[in-house]
Structure 1
């Protein structure tokens, strides 16, 4: 009897864990709306960078965010904000395109896109085309960037598979 009861409890626990895991992996009902919202948020970020809108960037980027730059250097949010404030990093144009967004439940997303940008870093021209990837999570009801990476590229097409 004890063996049967233990087996039943084990099966019930396993079934509940599998069901919970499947539910967590489901796409949100409003996935297309969320994707459109994230694209607009990213475009607003591109504009804020050109306008040196420190408040927008500060609110969008999580305090624990790390940026892996095209040259391989890793920067924190504080370092990135300092470079923007001081003028060390100056963006004069940003044209994002070719978005691909993956949702991992209702509160996590990965954005990939191209961006043609013009600007300087430490007085050196860094204009060109980049491939960017941002990881966003929803915290306290709003999306924040928790990781970002840029790679310098020529024109590329977004993988659709």
Structure 2
């Protein structure tokens, strides 16, 4: 996978990966014409459980749990347009000196089509890396698929929102 910017990009990827799961922890609305703000409205219970487990595993940097929840053919498109496959994604959780300071998610929503689901939001994030403070605003989208009876995250897209 491409790695533009070396160590700094790796650290940014870690921040973005850790925050990818945070979008899944906030109240969601369906994409359908009747928007709802009552939690996981319209989300199958098994998907809601997988989303919750993914969020918890991400916040704990639980690589074993993440490995089970991330599809083998997982692709992450980072905000710098670089790509990561599953193993590279999991390896980022081993980077030292990283801590999420705070984040806010707005415009969160979901859509479920049979065995495929999309969860998205606008992420206002702040983190500390080796003592330095960083901030970003990102649009984030996760695609989940149900394969062999279980939900796994198959794709994540991160888009950096330009600063005003």
- Higher relative contact order (Cα pairs below 8 Å, separated by 6+ residues): 2
- Smaller-chain TM-score range? 0.5 to 0.7
Q: Kindly indicate which of the two structures has a greater share of residues assigned to helix.
A: 1
- Please name the residue that 1:80 is paired with: 89
Give the distance between the partners of 1:123 and 1:72, measured in 2 at CA: 26
After superposing the two structures, state which structure 1 stretch, 124-133 or 53-62, moved more: 124-133
In the alignment, the residues of structure 2 paired with residue 39 and residue 96 of structure 1 have an alpha-carbon distance, to the nearest angstrom, of 18
- Could you list the runs of 5+ residues in structure 2 that have no partner in the other structure? 1-39
Quote the offset at 1:103 in angstroms.
1.7
What is the rounded CA distance, in whole Å, between the counterparts of 2:99 and 2:52 in structure 1?
Answer: 14
- The answer on 1:118 being equivalent to 2:126 is yes
What's the CA shift string for 1:58-107, capped at 9, x where partnerless? Answer: 1221111000001111011100111212338x352454443221222x21
Distance 1:53 1:107, change over 3 A: same
Q: CA deviation at 1:128?
A: 2.0
Secondary structure at the aligned position of 1:86 is classed as coil
How far did 1:150 drift? 0.5
Partners of 2:126 and 2:156 in 1: how far apart?
19
**What's the TM-score, normalizing by structure 1?**
0.60
CA distance in 1, matches of 2:111, 2:56: 23
Contact 2:118/2:143 (8 A) holds in 1: yes
Give the RMSD, CA atoms, in angstroms: 3.3
Q: Distance in 2 between matches of 1:124 and 1:72?
A: 24
**Structure 1 residue ranges without an equivalent (≥5):** 1-30, 156-161
Secondary structure of 2:93 counterpart: helix
Q: If you compute each CA radius of gyration, which structure gives the higher value, 1 or 2?
A: 1
The aligned runs of 1:4-153 (5 Å cut-off) are: 32-34=41-43, 38=47, 41-42=50-51, 44-87=53-96, 90-92=98-100, 93-104=102-113, 106-119=114-127, 127-153=135-161
Q: 1:85 is paired with a residue of what secondary structure?
A: coil
Count of aligned positions: 123
